[in-house]
Structure 1
Amino acid sequence: MTDPRDILNSVFGFSDFRGVQRQVIARVLEGTRTLAVMPTGAGKSLCYQLPAVMREGTCVVVSPLIALMHDQLRAAEAVGIRAATLTSVDDNRAETRERFAAGDLDLLYVAPERASSGYFRDLLARAKLNLFAIDEAHCVSEWGHDFRPDYRLLRPLLDSFPDVPRLALTATADAHTRADILDQLGIPHDGLIVAGFDRPNIRYAISPKAGTTQQIADLIRETPGPGIVYAPTRAATEKLAEALSRTGRPTRAYHAGLDSAVRRRNQADFVASEDMVICATIAFGMGIDKPDVRFVAHAALPKSIEAYYQETGRAGRDGDPAVAHLFWGAEDFAKARQRIAEVEPERQAGERARLTALGALVETAGCRRAILLRHFGENPPPTCGNCDNCLNPPAAIDATETARKFLSAVFRTGQMFGVGYIEGVLTGQSSERSLMNGHERLSVWGIVDGEEAALLKPVSRALLLRDALRTNAHGGLEFGPGARALLKGEDDLALVLPPKRERRRRRGTAEANPIGDPLFEALRDKRRELAAEAQVPPYIVFADAVLRDMVALKPTSLAQMSNISGVGAKKLDAYGDAFLAVIRDNG
């Protein structure tokens, strides 16, 4: 077969390409160097897997993490692709090298450290290559959020095989990063294909912290399915995992400080699970290829909008509804500014710009998705209908006068006291401390009451976010660069008041699957059984969408089942009769 659509249907079980897949694959088959920027879940791996199957020789895939490679290996083998990994944890490296040299592999996955070594280049010289695929290509750019120096060493390897096409793939790269990737990997600038960054199935939500553990527990209770909670520290992952286990959902922690066997087991349990919550540091981000993650929660501020997009992109890769909820506090911005002050001077301007962009995202009363997409150079509509602000628009009030009162109180008390004390001064809450300091005689004593008093906490948070206030080493408030303009009347402060949230139970994404339908549950049970036998995660057998189609269509023959999207020839042969029996027995 020479028509890509024949391979698409027979091997992968799909009737047509999605988005820019056809365009990217056509360029690869023509031998043209290409950078494809495609959102997570848009089918990037198909763009090199299909040409690898069609063309003689092996596609070498450079991927940054061993766990990610092994996930991709399982998925490739499940549809009948001859694939292998060559990593430090593989026991069959000698066999893999022999298969590669003999031309018995369609795909060979390697890490950048191995790919850039001299001995690997010698190994490549003994085999027939049909493509270099550089996955997570933003790692090559110092402007990207996830720079990996070993990616910078790939260019000499690629140039050693000038006739082998090269395809770079990423979901996360702004215009500056895209240009750098092209230059670093030797891809002409007219070789760029940008599919867009929108993930319409993800519902974005951002909330100020107000008991973060309870907020995340509420999210877990109302959102069935697997989820990831990103925490800022190793200790926080373990503390959250313990606390969130009280929701009744299985939970695990994941961070670099765990024993390697425990870390691998926790990750394997999560990948195989249909309802587990894993609390992880950002090291977990690219290490999984799990399509059925139903929510991603951030317990603290991410490093940048690029990092946020990448991390939230782990949700809903199967196209089903998913939730991304970020919980932030003013202290997150204060810590971020401290980190920026410690980096090399030449990097500080760029880091401040990234933090400002994050501030705009969390502070907006408008559409979250629109801000995200504009950051990546797109021109989206003003509303999306699937973020918290579009679904439940918040109120915005002019809090400039309250902000000036707060700043005045900080100044008149000597720029050395925390938020709680300043609130007490402004609302006239007498204490031994305020009497001793003589602050009850100040002009700002007791000048805030009634409804305005309820604004003090969100105003202080907004002032810290805007860098009008900073915290010193002892937790006291002092003026930041943004204070002067507010006090002189050159700037104002619009305060977004999030709507009161009623606790909901099991809403979120519960509508995605017909939970409770006897046939659907029986199909899930069979999938779980077959996955355990094959020692693969359930989604490798069939995605939820395939099971839903089986429930809707109730095929009675292998021919009818083959028409379901996602059922290729190998999966039909391996699993078709078993699922037909379930449909027959539960009809």
Structure 2
Amino acid sequence: RQLDAALIEALASPAEPTGAAIVYAPTRKTTEAEAARLVQGGWRAAGYHAGLSGSVRESVSRDFASGELDVVVATNAFGMGIDRADVRAVVHLAPPGSVEAYYQEVGRAGRDDAPAIGLLLVSPGDLAQRRALLERDAESGAADPELLRHKWNLFLELMRWAEGGSCRHDAILRYFGDDEETLAGCGHCDVCTELARDPDVDPEAVTLIVRKALSAVARIHGRFGLSAATSLLRGKEDDRLAWSGLTRTPTFGILANEPEEWLQRVLRRCVTAGWVDFSGGERPLAVLTEPGAAVMRGDRAARLLLPPRNLPRAASTRKPRARAAPAVDAPNAAGRALFDALRRHRLEVSRSERVPPYVVATDRALRDIAAIRPKNKLELEEAHGIGPAKVKRYGAGLLGVVRHHLDLGAADDDAPNPSDPRRSSP
């Protein structure tokens, strides 16, 4: 099993472990089962989840911090306040809720600056499982539908990152808007090591496919989505391509022999690599970024791990009972007003601290804040690119803008309407 292999690689052996590990499980049942299995394998392990009594949770936290336990299998309830420096591995048995959550949890490994392992296990049922959990919250009335829709989109961002194909380190930096800090390959993640060691990877062949794929994006730049780029590469009949004249271009059918699903995955990996982006609202339009144009022209290396062509199929083709995720609505007038207020606040903060505005928060983060209207710091972390560090530094100001905006809205609602015929005369 991959978990067992990761523990052996990181900690050497249960008898004389060289550090500690945290294993995140998706459910309480899995947490207890995996903890029991590891104990049987000789590890000093214990489970931790919110369903345990407070005294048990406190005992597990204390024993892990003191070194009495080497492995804790937990739900995401574990980790806050735990600062053990010799954590050599953080393993996720299933994807957490967002890139932000994964970044925070995997960051608990290697705090002593020694090498550590971060392993995220992904399976075909993860999307359906996460969707079912969110819908269960919606049906019970435990969460606002807008917040649930936002959480679903955050989970999809994580799955796109997991799809990968480009350096994990650089992809996370781009996600948080830190493009200038990218390394063009960290040399340590699974993608970088695979690109370095796989003798079957032909850099010239990869470059040719990537440049052809990006040429299709350049053709449909700002006009259509990625499905049109896939049709263009396949030479597939498509009304959009016909009336726009793209069927007469050299790109039409340039990768006709490649499977459609495989080409879609290649294009998604180009998105993760930062070569393709989206503009527009409810119907995102694909655009070629400046780095993508450089790769297409051959001015920049196409460091990408292509997806496997022979994809394993699930044993059952029965679809889970889950509704499709609704598209994120365009902001209404109130949402736009809050977004503008947040931008003004960001400009004031950036000028006072003499930093670029995106350091405080990106436009995408501000749009998310305007959509979910967080009431506290925990809800604020649901916004794209807003992690614990930014919440600590800028959270009070951002929440203050939201509160002020909501107070103004409430005052407007309470004010008498001059055109209301029921309004009495003075």
Settle same-fold status: TM greater than 0.5: no
What TM-score comes out, normalization by structure 2 length? 0.44
Question: Whose Rg is larger?
Answer: 1
Relative to its length, the structure with more strand (as a share) is 1
Q: Which has the higher contact order (CA 8 A, sep 6+)?
A: 1
What TM-score comes out, normalization by structure 1 length? 0.33
